[in-house]
Amino acid sequence: MGTLTGRVALVTGAAQGIGHAVATVLAEAGAEVTATDVRDQSDLGDHIRTRSHDVTDAARWAEIVDEIEADHGRLDILVNNAGVSGYDDLHELSLAEWNRIIAINQTGVLIGMQQALRLMRPQRSGAIVNISSICGATSVKGVAAYHASKHAVLTMTKNAAVSYAREGIRANAVLPGWIRTPLTLGQTDELNGAFLDATPMGVGGEPVDVARAVSFLVSDDARFITGVDLPVDGGYLAR
């Protein structure tokens, strides 16, 4: 029997990479999962249903959460994973690119937490995990908008943690390092090499490494943990 049996979960950005692994691991642990993405999703197996979802669309968020409420009567877990990167230096960053990244990585997290809290607060329970990045806690050359958005996710998560702790709701952030996903594999060899060279373990991680950390944080094993920033980064931030 899984540790999340009977829990109802919503995972964004689940078509590939970390989100796909999170949805799969939560379902394997017993949760009923709604997995969303703007991309087409393959069949993820038992206990996972897929929905098309642009996380910048507040009305679509409301529709999905309403459907979860109608079908299950509750929402126990939200994993805000959907995100995009951008590689522009600050002096070259266009306002359009800034707005695109902030809308998905930061505003999408805000709307997601607002919609989840709509169900979690009346039931006085719930666990939120927001996927940030090591780039939310430290700096590398370029990626100015990505840095800003992922640092904002950390502070938004802490705000949620302290604001709703007395209502039985926990909020934590996970900070992946270099993880083998379509996003990182699409980066330049130079950038990927720089990240891996700076990782004390000397290797990158796999999406399941992040998914297992998320599964722990939303489980009862982490019942006294809220407001933390958990790196899954092979020691990158420990340098």
Backbone phi and psi for residue 111, each to the nearest 5 degrees, phi listed first: -60, -40
Instruction: List the Cα angle 154/230/78 in 5-degree steps.
Output: 65
Task: Name which of 126, 117, 129, 107 is nearest 11 in CA terms.
Answer: 129
d(CA 92, CA 172): 33
Q: Which residues pair with 79 in a beta bridge?
A: 11, 129
Backbone phi and psi for residue 169, each to the nearest 5 degrees, phi listed first: -115, 130
Distances (CA, A) of 199 to 95, 127, 235: 32, 30, 6
Instruction: Convert 156-177 to b/e letters by CB count within 10 Å (16 or more is b).
Output: bbbebbeebeeeebbbbbbbbb
Beta strand 229-232 with 48-52 is unpaired
The full length of the chain comes to: 239
d(CA 239, CA 236): 6
Which residue numbers are catalytic? Answer: 146
